[in-house]
Structure 1
Amino acid sequence: MSLQFDIDAVLDRLATDGWVVIPHAMPAALTAELRDACLQVWQQGLFHEAATGRGDGQARRAEIRSDSVLWLDKVATLPAVAAYNAAMDDIMQAVNRGLYLGLAELESHFAVYPEGAFYKKHLDRFRDDDARTLTTVFYLNEAWPQDAGGEIRLYLDADCTQHIDVTPEAGTLVLFLSDRFWHEVLPATQQRLSVTGWYRRRGGSVPW
């Protein structure tokens, strides 16, 4: 699938700012199919409550995050998921050609935030594994109300004094460097759906 946006402009933003927000990043039909697939597997009870940490240190901590997730490798044969993965692979190849990040794979999951759910401020890179390099968030909610909350708040400086809030509107793709930007998900007044992922580089300190 050909990309819906100017990939060179995206690479320029990543090179200069380390983050970029891309509206209408995927065809509307694919976004709708992904939303339907997400809701279908949600209703089938395939999700689990999200945890923090990794390995032996992984734990459910409801005071930090209250979403539920389903890794896409569990439903990779769904047509919408396969098409999404193909598009994200095109982005990965372009990033590698333009920015030489050495990205090797994408790990990603559906995320469902029930009404009132949140994810407190955090970084996406583990202390003992530096493979996660570029975070990806793709939104699935159609016609998201401006007063419904659920934004991702991306902190733009190390002291977290400056930030932008990105509305979780269907078709919007957010990319940012995983080790650089603290961020959080604000509570929403209605169910919030997304696909969240991380491009992983070769040579991480701990094998996946």
Structure 2
Amino acid sequence: MSAIIPFTSQTPFDQVVSDILQKGWSVTDGFFSPAMVDALMADVSDLDNTYMHRAGVGRSSDFQVALDRRRDYIRWIDPINPARSAFLDAMGALRIEFNRRLILGLWDYEAHFARYEEGAFYEKHLDAFKGKSNRVLSTVLYLNEAWQESDGGELVLFDEHDHCRELGRFAPMKGRLAVFLSEEFPHEVLPAKRTRHSIAGWFRVNNTIQNQIDPSQ
């Protein structure tokens, strides 16, 4: 059991669950405790790029590195230290709340650290395509200390019906958590003017059918 206190309140899930129910997306500050965010930031800061790998597009046999579309480095998160264990446990608790309150049938959660170096970006995309993915809810937790508006690197979220209309631009400020329906909301990451760290994750359903194994990562 990790000694890290994960949340800033006794009822951390209420606002996020309410937002997803009402509009399908949520951007919340102060969801996790500063101790949790600091521990995760220290963890990813210690990772050299040689220990991470270039992110790509597509999954499983469709995966390919496409530097014209995204330019971040990633490292998948396993519960190998207290910070990662506390984070995955907290997101597991959030999964249970989503299932209890919204009946989403979420099965598991996967996540990776993401590092965007100066100039890195991720073009507009969906995290899932209707009927072709097991990803239901996307999450992004930002870890950056003292991020300024001039540093760029914003998450841009687009309307689910009009993919040209912005719902908002959200700076990757320390402790900010974004959650949105994976199949509904296109989004992009604007170029950052300094190194930017986050954790991207997905709540998934189990689409395993007979001998066709549902892919992870």
Name the TM-score, length of structure 1 as normaliser: 0.92
CA distance in 2, matches of 1:87, 1:153: 25
CA distance in 1, matches of 2:131, 2:107: 19
Give the partner amino acid of 1:138.
L
Q: 171-180 or 82-91: which moved more?
A: 82-91
* Structure 2 partner of 1:60: 65
Identity %: 36
CA distance in 1, matches of 2:69, 2:207: 29
Native 8 Å contact 2:36 2:87 kept in 1: yes
* Structure 2 partner of 1:80: 83
Question: 1:141 deviation in Å?
Answer: 0.2
CA distance in 2, matches of 1:127, 1:102: 16
* Structure 2 partner of 1:34: 40
CA offsets per residue over residues 81-122 of structure 1, 9 Å max, x none?
111111111111111111111111111000000000000000
2:201 pairs with 1:194: no
CA, structure 1 residues 156+122, in 2 after alignment: closer, same or farther (shift >3 Å)?
same
Q: 9-18 or 99-108: which moved more?
A: 9-18
SS of match in other structure, 2:107: strand
SS of match in other structure, 1:92: helix
Gaps of 5+ in 2: none
CA distance in 2, matches of 1:2, 1:55: 32
Q: 64-73 or 54-63: which moved more?
A: 54-63
Native 8 Å contact 1:53 1:126 kept in 2: no
Native 8 Å contact 2:6 2:33 kept in 1: no
Give the partner amino acid of 2:102.
L
Give me the CA root mean square deviation.
Answer: 1.7
Native 8 Å contact 2:206 2:214 kept in 1: no
CA distance in 1, matches of 2:134, 2:8: 28
2:103 pairs with 1:100: yes
Say which of 168, 171, 179 aligns to 2:172: 168
* Structure 2 partner of 1:10: 16
* Structure 2 partner of 1:146: 149
How many residues were matched structurally?
A: 205
* Structure 2 partner of 1:134: 137
CA offsets per residue over residues 126-183 of structure 1, 9 Å max, x none?
5774210000000000110111110110002322232111110010110000000000
CA, structure 1 residues 204+4, in 2 after alignment: closer, same or farther (shift >3 Å)?
farther
